[in-house]
Structure formats: C-alpha cells, structure tokens
Structure 1
Amino acid sequence: MALILHITSRSHWQKAQQDGVYCADSLEAEGFIHCSTPSQVVATANAYFHGQTGLMLLCLESDRVQSELRYETLHGSEYPHLHGVLNLDAVTQAIDFEPNTDGSFTLPPVVIAQNAQD
C-alpha cells in the first residue's frame, strides 16, 4: 500500500460525501485527478494553492482506489494520477489543510506519522 494525497476545497469534499464519490474538475478537463506523494504535496500546494484557505488534504490508500492509478511524469517527477472518480472508502483521512501565516504550506504531523507507518 502506498499513501497518496489529493488537495481539494472543503466544499468539494462535502459535495463528494453527499454524492458518494469524489470527482475533481481536472477529471473532466484533463482526464485524471491530480495526486501527490507525501514528499511532493508541499511543493504542489505552494505552487498551486499558495495562500488559499478552506482546503482539505485527502489521504488515500492506493490499494483501495478502484479507478486506474498511474504514475506519470510531470515536471520531471512521477506523480500519481487517478484516471476516474475516487471511491470514498479509499480515503483514510480528510485533514484541514490551511496555509501558514505567510501563505506557504507544511505537511501536517498526522500525514508524517501515517507515512512513517507505511
């Protein structure tokens, strides 16, 4: 099992819980849901979400993901991309992911602990 992470808004996560599946805008626009490994997620957050509030960090157990999961090269690194909707039972935790006072992000301690167990 590999821990993978996805950044989303609190409102998108709440909608997913009502709908029973999670579907990011990027699935329709690009054909996949962007994810990151624990070592990639902070750089991703700082590059694309700097200063944004109301975010959630979804922790996914790769073995439980039902849609196709591919590691694809983007910006010289292999990123996990989910080619289909995300089944909610693959989400082991949904963590508030707020920026620091300077707008940057750091990895929440609970993710560090969960990743160390894997």
Structure 2
Amino acid sequence: MPEQPSNQPLILHITERSLWDAARERGAYEMSTRGRTLQEEGFIHCSTREQLPRVAAFLYGSYDGPDELVVLVIDPARLASPLKYEAPEPGAEEFPHVYGPVPVDAVVDVEVWA
C-alpha cells in the first residue's frame, strides 16, 4: 500500500529494477535517465502521470533488457533538492526535473511498468 502523499502533485521516474534496488541500498537514487547519471546530466528527468506513457515509449520503447521496468512515484515534499518544471526547448512541454539525488524515502510507491 502506497504511503499518503503530500498535497503536491506526485512526479514519476521510469527506470530498471536493478537501478532502483541499488539506490535502496545506498539511500538515494542518482540516475538521470536511461544510461545517464545525475552527475552527467545535472538533474533527474521525471514526468507527470500524463507524460509517462510518451516518456516510456521514447526511452524504453525497444527495451529488451534483463530487468523489469519500474516507475518510481515521488512525493516532491520529501525531496531535499530543488524541483523545477522545465521545457527542453522554448515553447515545448515542461517536465519535472530534480536537481539532486532522490532520497529513497521520497519514493512513496514503486509500480511495475507493463
């Protein structure tokens, strides 16, 4: 059963199960997007619930890896780092970006992506 989130809209991040399992051991999640770390990118790419299907198709549409994909459901109120909604280019759709590690306790649910 997921924890009760704050009144802020939840944000989502799709990843591979093994990356999430490793983050749980370290206490924080630090992958930005598929194949790129927070340190390489400068922030962690996230999405809203409505954006998730498009993001998943773009990043993992042809995914045939050994891990199952999971969606981290993140409560922004539990983040220690700034959260900004930004567009990849002027006039484009804005996506949530977390400018630092995501603490494991900020993840209020983990959903299997099918």
Measure how far apart 1:26 and its partner are: 3.2
Measure how far apart 1:28 and its partner are: 1.3
Tell me the equivalent position of 1:49: 60
Measure how far apart 1:51 and its partner are: 3.5
Are positions 1:8 and 2:15 aligned together? Answer: yes
Which segment drifts farther, 21-30 or 33-42? 21-30
Distance in structure 1 (CA, Å) of the matches to 2:13 and 2:44: 8
Gaps of 5+ in 2: 1-7
Tell me the equivalent position of 1:82: 98
Are positions 1:18 and 2:32 aligned together? Answer: no
Structure 1 residues 53-106: Cα deviation after superposition (integer angstroms, max 9, x where no partner):
5111000111111111111112511100011000111111011113xxxxxxxx
- Partner SS for 2:77: helix
4+ residue runs over 2 A deviation: none
User: Which is helix-richer, 1 or 2?
Assistant: 1
Which segment drifts farther, 7-16 or 50-59? 50-59
Give the AA of the match of 2:84: R
The residue correspondences of 1:81-100 to structure 2 (distance < 5 A) are: 81-98=97-114
- Partner SS for 1:77: coil
Distance in structure 1 (CA, Å) of the matches to 2:88 and 2:37: 15
Gaps of 5+ in 1: 99-118
Distance in structure 2 (CA, Å) of the matches to 1:90 and 1:30: 20
Distance in structure 1 (CA, Å) of the matches to 2:76 and 2:24: 19
Are positions 1:72 and 2:86 aligned together? Answer: yes
User: TM-score, normalised on structure 2?
Assistant: 0.80
